[in-house]
Amino acid sequence: MHELTNKQVLVVGLGASGQAACRLLRQREARVTALDGVATKELQDAAGPLRALGVTVALGVNAVPAQPFDLVVVSPGVPRNSPLMQEVYGRRIPVIGELELGYQQSLCLNIAIGGTNGKTTTTELVERLLTQAHRKTIAAGNIGLPMCAVVDRTRELDFLTLEVSSFQLETTEFFRPAVAVLLNITPDHLDRYASMAEYIRAKARLFLCQQAFDWAIIQSEALAQLRSLNLPVPAKVITFSANNRRADIYLDRGLLISRQPGWSGPLLDMDDCKLRGPHNAENLMAAL
């Protein structure tokens, strides 16, 4: 874990995630410099409150300041192969993402939901199921609130419910979900990834730091994609699928059916649900 007090930290990218990272870093008494390659009116407006917190802000900048830095926190929208990030890596400065920074400072377990399609729906379902079951949670990450914006609330939570993107997972280090959910993996963001295999590897980082007693809830087709690339899943696995009846939870003529020991049989009739279609059946299976 990174010690932050009095450390020189560079934040790259000043969208919502970068701004939240700056605030958290200042709360932890880091010395923060933040930059963004553009200088929009929105960013100029956001720069004022950050400067008031003691952040040095530079907009319209595409080069790393000459001063030494102990750590770089990069926003998910900044590609690893951008010239600025290549300069960072060339200077051998440690790099983490905003998600990783928030994780290292959080004080509760998390449920992390990834995949190409259905992340937001499934995250909202899990959040509402937990809340209805009187568990304290907040939905954050790639949905609404950045991870760093909710860190100070995690002391009171049972779980953080996180939507996580491949961009966020690229720059994780110790990020470890107690429950990791992987929905489908279909071609996407191939302007950022050199191949489908590289995109799958980014998604598989969701499981990178899990232990044998954590849980991995994975669409069976996505699990086959991971295995085709010899990507390990160290946690206990439960599969689900709308198309594969050999999955642990599967769709059969509108019924969601479980073959999990101690939890076998029909779970839900899709006719009784406002969500429709096989894709939403998978979102519901993952949430359940």
State the pLDDT at residue 108: 97
Q: Which residue has the tokens 């050199």?
A: 194
Structure tokens belonging to residue 72: 């770089």
Nearest to 162 by CA among 106, 244, 208: 106
State the pLDDT at residue 191: 76
pLDDT digits (tens, 9 = 90+) for 257-275: 999 999 999 999 999 988 8
Residue 199 and residue 185 in contact, taking contact as beta carbons nearer than 8 Å: yes
Structure tokens belonging to residue 163: 């939507």
pLDDT digits (tens, 9 = 90+) for 47-81: 999 999 999 999 999 899 999 999 999 999 898 88
State the pLDDT at residue 10: 98
Sequence-distant (6+) residues with CB within 8 A of 206 are 112, 114, 164, 169, 177, 180, 182
pTM equals 0.93
Residues 271, 275: Cα–Cα separation, whole Å: 9
Greatest Cα pair distance in the chain:
63
- Residues 74, 162, 195, 61, Cα dihedral to 10°: -20
- Low-confidence residues of the chain, pLDDT below 70? none
State the pLDDT at residue 16: 95
State the pLDDT at residue 21: 98
State the pLDDT at residue 187: 84
Burial of 244 per CB tally in 10 Å (0-12, 13-18, 19+):
middle
State the pLDDT at residue 62: 87
Looking at every residue in the chain, the average pLDDT score rounds to 95
State the pLDDT at residue 81: 86
